[in-house]
């Protein structure tokens, strides 16, 4: 059992299978041991009975008939030889047809059963307070064939008790020797049978909203196919919902770009024509809002593209030079940095990676825009690209006010900005940078610039050889 949500005890499939297998086994092992005991002990005891039979036969060979009377011409030495035994005490008694004792132990004679000539009988009895096994045999003798002589041979139970204990121990050890491997094999079989379920659980647990491809039903047992198909159906519905959400965000951002661009341009023209009229502050706020809205629409579109690329890794297969991408985008950012009173410079070396040109250009644009907005007037901004020891690196560095170390992790989250942030940003720029970087197998870092001044944002990629 396992403790589930709310402290409830949840049934364990592994435990249920083991109980279903091992409980019957626990009942079958004693039964099989008992069967082995019964089958093995009987031949052992029969062998000991045959020893009594041999002694009775030997005595029957000694009995003689003289003048119509049965006699037992048995010497003392022969009697001792017949009774010789290292474990048990052995007794015998021979009587004629009239019940007269011819020789042996008198106390044994009263046990004589009524037998016909040629009959044998084995039974347990007591002699002098000791348990004995008795073999009785009737043989024709004397003048009256209808009154046979009776031979009784008895032996204490030492060898029989030892034989029964040995057979019982062997049966128990044999049952145990069979039970342990079977139990171990049952546990191994259950674990192996449940391993596809555990693998499927790990596979499902590793899925994210951006990784909802179906589970291969061919890798699971037939009993789990229906369950896997149900999960795949859920994944399909989630993919459709996520695709619809991304499509809505992309469409909305795309549709907003045109009216926001018109609004931004018209607000800029109105500012040029307004001069120093009382309407100028209003127009300035209108223009700033239009700029921010246009930038936000562009960032939402970038997020939708990034999430779409996560579901379509085939898009990330272009061989690209980060230095060339930065050079091609340089003209776009020179005028904004000039208007902000900043010095924007480039130190570009070849840095080849594999990825998506649109997304990497968006990554670079977000880093550059972030530096222009937050570095402040008079700041120096430098964009570096380089390759070293298998790492292609893209860095944007400024010597502005920088960012407190305690805030550096938080600003990677969406809609989070530093406490001293300037400009009209929405807090999406660095979040988009991290998403695009991780999509390309890279990891961005925030650190202080040279001599502890400003901020340096670096993205390190796995370098790829330049195409021929």
User: What percent of the chain stands above pLDDT 70?
Assistant: 77
Per residue in 399-439, pLDDT (tens digit) is: 888 887 878 787 777 666 655 555 555 667 788 888 888 88
Confidence of residue 251 (pLDDT cuts 50, 70, 90): low
pLDDT over 90 at 211, yes or no: no
- Whether the CB-CB separation of 398 and 375 falls below 8 Å is answered with yes
Q: What is the pLDDT of residue 321?
A: 93
pTM for the model stands at 0.46
In order of 233, 239, 245, 389, 452, the CA distances from 213 in angstroms are 10, 8, 17, 35, 46
pLDDT over 90 at 278, yes or no: no
Q: What is the pLDDT of residue 413?
A: 76
- Whether the CB-CB separation of 448 and 336 falls below 8 Å is answered with no
Find residue 240's DSSP bridge partners: none
Per residue in 28-62, pLDDT (tens digit) is: 777 877 777 778 778 888 888 888 888 888 888 88
Q: What is the pLDDT of residue 431?
A: 82
Dihedral of alpha carbons 448, 450, 451, 454, sign: negative
Per residue in 318-360, pLDDT (tens digit) is: 899 999 999 998 888 888 888 889 999 999 999 999 988 888 8
Q: What is the pLDDT of residue 253?
A: 53
Confidence of residue 246 (pLDDT cuts 50, 70, 90): low
User: How many angstroms separate the CA atoms of 437 and 348, rounded?
Assistant: 19
Per residue in 151-168, pLDDT (tens digit) is: 999 999 888 888 888 888
Per residue in 455-465, pLDDT (tens digit) is: 999 999 998 88
Of 314 and 154, more confident: 154
Per residue in 72-106, pLDDT (tens digit) is: 888 888 788 878 778 888 899 998 878 888 888 88
Q: What is the pLDDT of residue 1?
A: 41
Most confident of 183-187, 228-232, 385-389: 385-389
Confidence of residue 134 (pLDDT cuts 50, 70, 90): very high
| Structural domains of the chain, ranges and CATH numbers in brackets | 207-311 (1.10.287), 315-462 (3.30.565.10)
Q: What is the pLDDT of residue 4?
A: 45
User: How many angstroms separate the CA atoms of 424 and 369, rounded?
Assistant: 11
Confidence of residue 249 (pLDDT cuts 50, 70, 90): low
Q: What is the pLDDT of residue 121?
A: 92
Q: What is the pLDDT of residue 242?
A: 66
Per residue in 367-393, pLDDT (tens digit) is: 898 888 888 888 899 999 999 988 999
Of 289 and 71, more confident: 71
Q: What is the pLDDT of residue 310?
A: 55
């Amino acid at each position: 059992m396992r403790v589930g949500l709310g402290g409830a005890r949840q049934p364990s499939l592994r435990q249920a299978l083991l109980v279903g297998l091992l409980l019957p086994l626990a009942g079958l092992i004693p039964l099989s041991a008992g069967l082995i005991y019964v089958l093995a002990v009987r031949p052992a005891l029969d062998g000991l009975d045959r020893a009594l039979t041999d002694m009775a036969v030997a005595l029957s060979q000694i009995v003689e008939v003289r003048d119509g009377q049965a006699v037992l011409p048995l010497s003392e030495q022969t009697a001792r030889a017949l009774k010789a035994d290292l474990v048990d005490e052995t007794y015998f008694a021979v009587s004629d047809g009239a019940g007269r004792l011819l020789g042996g132990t008198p106390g044994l004679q009263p046990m004589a059963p009524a037998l016909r000539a040629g009959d044998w009988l084995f039974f347990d009895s007591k002699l002098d307070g000791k348990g004995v096994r008795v073999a009785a045999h009737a043989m024709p003798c004397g003048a009256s064939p209808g009154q046979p002589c009776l031979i009784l041979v008895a032996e204490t139970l030492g060898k029989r008790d030892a034989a029964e204990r040995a057979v019982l121990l062997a049966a128990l050890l044999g049952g145990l020797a069979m039970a342990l491997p079977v139990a171990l094999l049952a546990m191994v079989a259950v674990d192996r049978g449940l391993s596809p379920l555990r693998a499927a659980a790990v596979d499902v647990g590793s899925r994210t909203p951006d990784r909802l491809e179906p589970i291969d039903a061919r890798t699971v047992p037939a009993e789990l196919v229906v369950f896997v198909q149900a999960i795949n159906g859920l994944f399909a519905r989630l993919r459709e919902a996520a695709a619809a959400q991304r499509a809505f965000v992309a469409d909305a951002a795309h549709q907003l770009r045109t009216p926001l661009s018109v609004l931004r341009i018209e607000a800029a023209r109105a500012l040029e024509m307004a001069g120093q009229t009382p309407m100028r502050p209003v127009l300035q706020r209108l223009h700033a809002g239009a700029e921010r809205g246009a930038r936000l629409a562009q960032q939402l579109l970038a997020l939708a593209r990034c999430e779409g690329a996560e579901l379509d890794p085939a898009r990330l297969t272009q061989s690209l030079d980060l230095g060339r991408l930065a050079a091609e985008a340089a003209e776009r950012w020179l005028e904004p940095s000039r208007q902000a009173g900043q010095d924007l410079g480039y130190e570009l070396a070849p840095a080849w990676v594999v990825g998506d040109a649109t997304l990497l250009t968006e990554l670079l644009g977000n880093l550059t825009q972030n530096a222009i907005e937050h570095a402040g007037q008079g700041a120096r901004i430098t964009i570096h690209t380089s390759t070293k020891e298998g790492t292609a690196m893209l860095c944007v560095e400024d010597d502005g006010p920088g960012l407190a170390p305690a805030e550096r992790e938080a600003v990677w989250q969406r809609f989070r900005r530093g406490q001293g942030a300037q400009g009209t940003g929405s807090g999406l720029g660095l979040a988009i940078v991290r998403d695009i970087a991780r999509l390309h197998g890279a990891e961005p870092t925030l650190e202080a610039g040279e001599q502890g001044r400003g901020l340096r944002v670096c993205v390190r990629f796995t370098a790829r050889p330049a195409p021929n």
